[in-house]
Amino acid sequence: MTRTYVEHESTDAEPQSVVSATNVHRTYTRGPQGGLLRRNRTATEVRALDGVSVSVAQGELVGIAGPSGSGKSTLLHLLAALDTPTSGRVEIRGTDTAGLSARERSTLRRDHIGIVFQRFHLLSSLTAQQNVALPLIELGVGTGERRDRAELLLQQVGLGDRLDHRPGELSGGEQQRVAVARALAGKPDLLIADEPTGELDSKAGARVLDLLEELSEKRAVVVASHDQAALERVDRVIRLRDGTVVSDA
């Protein structure tokens, strides 16, 4: 029997909202040299998000789409508790992220959120298996289980034969799949992926999308993508333009 590490037990009859944003605004200020500053009131204001409200429930695979500058990255950072809104509320499992310290938000991410960045952030000195297992150390998972969980996840993304390869020995697409596997290691309630198929050929991309679909049965999955093939696989697409939601269907 194949073991799986991506299931969560749930006895609720109705899907629960895992993450929600309610009338969220995120404003930055642009300094004299063009850098974005948060509190320089004399600089030019840049509204990255302007009254955005979205909700993603357990069991949903939701896409976020929009042109460059539409606010996709800002929204992802808020939903992942990497940032907090200027006004409005972002709640993860009912917790308002704005009320948390940076340390508390870090703990929230560790316990509930898996993130796949566009930049993979793999450690060059570690093997693929060690990179995937790394987040489990802080969670207190034992050495044997860390190894087994990382091996299984790498098999699920098609890298069972690359366990002992370091990032420099992997293609860009293979590194991206390692990053996906690492994001899943802690069995997150919420998985947020920024362009998860961006570096993959159609076959490898389809494998990752298959996995994301499977994962969304027991958690919330949010995928930001320009890839039409990826957006066709989601339950609904939230489209942004100029910091506002123009459609959610």
pLDDT (tens digit per residue) in 95-144 = 999 999 999 999 999 999 999 887 888 999 999 999 999 999 988 999 99
If pLDDT is split at 50, 70 and 90, which confidence band does 14 have?
low
Domain that holds residue 109: 55-248
Percent of all residues in the chain with a pLDDT value above 70, rounded to a whole number: 88
Residue 24 counted as domain residue:
no
Smallest CA-to-CA distance from 64 within 45, 51, 83, 77 is with 77
CATH number at residue 198: 3.40.50.300
Q: Is 73 exposed, middle or buried (0-12, 13-18, 19+ CB in 10 A)?
A: middle
240 touches 48 (CB < 8 A)? no
Q: Is the pTM of this model over 0.85?
A: no
52 touches 38 (CB < 8 A)? no
Length of the chain: 249
Tell me the C-alpha distance between 215 and 156, whole Å: 11
Q: Please name the helix (run of DSSP H) or strand (run of DSSP E) that holds residue 64, with its range, or none.
A: strand 61-65
Smallest CA-to-CA distance from 74 within 29, 35, 24 is with 24
What tens digit of pLDDT does each residue of 205-237 get?
888 888 888 888 889 999 999 888 889 999 999
Residue 2 counted as domain residue:
no
Residue 119 counted as domain residue:
yes
- pLDDT score, position 43: 66
Handedness of CA 214, 10, 249, 186 (dihedral sign): negative
Domains: count for the chain? 1
Residue 46 counted as domain residue:
no
